[in-house]
Amino acid sequence: MTVDDRFTEDFHRREPAEEELGTWSEPVTGPVGDWATDFSHIDEQYAKHAPEIWADLRQRCPIAHTGRFGGAWLPTRYEDVQAIAYDTDHFSSRAIIVNNYRPPLDLAPVGGEPPISSDPPFHHDARKLLLPAFTKANVAKQAVTTEAFCHSLIDGLAGRDVVDAATEYGMHIPIRVVADMLGFPAEDGPQFKAFVENALEGVNDPMEEREERGNQLFDYLLAQIRDHVDNPRDDLTTYLVNAELYGQKLEPQHVAGTMALLLIAGIDTTWSAIGASLWHLAQHPEDRRRLVADPSLRTTAVEEFLRAYAPVTMARLVKEDISFGGVEMKAEDWVLLPFPAANRDPERFERADEVVIDREVNRHAAFGLGIHRCVGSHLARMELRVALDVWLDRIPEFSLADPDAVRWSTGQIRGPRALPLRIG
Phi-psi region of 176 (alpha: psi -120 to 50; beta: other; left: phi over 0): alpha
Distance between the two ends of the chain, CA-based, in angstroms?
60
pLDDT over 90, % of the chain:
89
Integer Cα distance of 229 and 242 in angstroms? 9
Q: What is the DSSP string of 102-122?
A: E--GGGTTT-SSTTTTPPTTH
Cβ atoms 150, 143 nearer than 8 A: no
Integer Cα distance of 196 and 190 in angstroms? 10
CA–centroid distance for 406 within its chain:
20
Point out which residues pair with 318 in neighbouring strands.
Answer: 91
pLDDT tier, 16 (very low <50, low <70, confident <90, very high otherwise): low
Point out which residues pair with 337 in neighbouring strands.
Answer: 314
* Side-chain half-sphere CA neighbours of 155 within 13 A: 6
| Average predicted confidence (pLDDT) for the chain | 94
Average pLDDT over residues 306-325: 98
Phi-psi region of 332 (alpha: psi -120 to 50; beta: other; left: phi over 0): left
CB contact set of 383 (below 8 Å; sequence gap of 6+): 146, 173, 174, 177, 270, 274
Cβ atoms 243, 251 nearer than 8 A: no
What's the burial of 240, exposed, middle or buried (CB within 10 Å: 0-12/13-18/19+)? buried
pLDDT tier, 8 (very low <50, low <70, confident <90, very high otherwise): confident
Point out which residues pair with 75 in neighbouring strands.
Answer: 63
Average pLDDT over residues 81-100: 97
CB contact set of 104 (below 8 Å; sequence gap of 6+): 19, 20, 21, 22
- Residue 12's pLDDT is what? 65
Integer Cα distance of 227 and 222 in angstroms? 9
DSSP reduced 3-state for 403 = helix
Tens of pLDDT along 156-205? Answer: 999 999 999 999 999 999 999 999 999 999 999 889 988 988 888 889 99
- Residue type at position 389: D
pLDDT tier, 210 (very low <50, low <70, confident <90, very high otherwise): confident
Integer Cα distance of 41 and 62 in angstroms? 16
- Residue type at position 253: Q
- Residue 1's pLDDT is what? 44
Tens of pLDDT along 401-421? Answer: 999 999 999 999 999 999 999
Integer Cα distance of 300 and 243 in angstroms? 37
Q: Where are the alpha helices (DSSP H) in 206-360?
A: 207-230, 236-242, 252-283, 285-293, 298-308, 339-342
- Residue 201's pLDDT is what? 86
CB contact set of 418 (below 8 Å; sequence gap of 6+): 164, 166, 167, 405, 406, 407
Higher pLDDT, 152 or 18: 152
Q: Is pLDDT of 372 > 60?
A: yes
pLDDT tier, 17 (very low <50, low <70, confident <90, very high otherwise): low
In the chain, count H helices and then E strands.
14, 16
Tens of pLDDT along 274-305? Answer: 999 999 999 999 999 999 999 999 999 999 99
- Residue 20's pLDDT is what? 60
DSSP reduced 3-state for 323 = strand
Integer angstrom CA distances of residue 64 from 44, 318, 340, 420: 18, 15, 16, 34
CB contact set of 332 (below 8 Å; sequence gap of 6+): 23, 70, 71, 102, 317, 318
pLDDT tier, 366 (very low <50, low <70, confident <90, very high otherwise): very high
- Report angle CA 119, 123, 128 to the nearest 5 degrees: 170
Q: For the chain, how big is the Rg over CA atoms in Å?
A: 21
Average pLDDT over residues 323-351: 98
- Residue 412's pLDDT is what? 96
Integer angstrom CA distances of residue 150 from 154, 175, 331, 391: 6, 12, 47, 8
CA–centroid distance for 92 within its chain:
18
Cβ atoms 61, 36 nearer than 8 A: yes
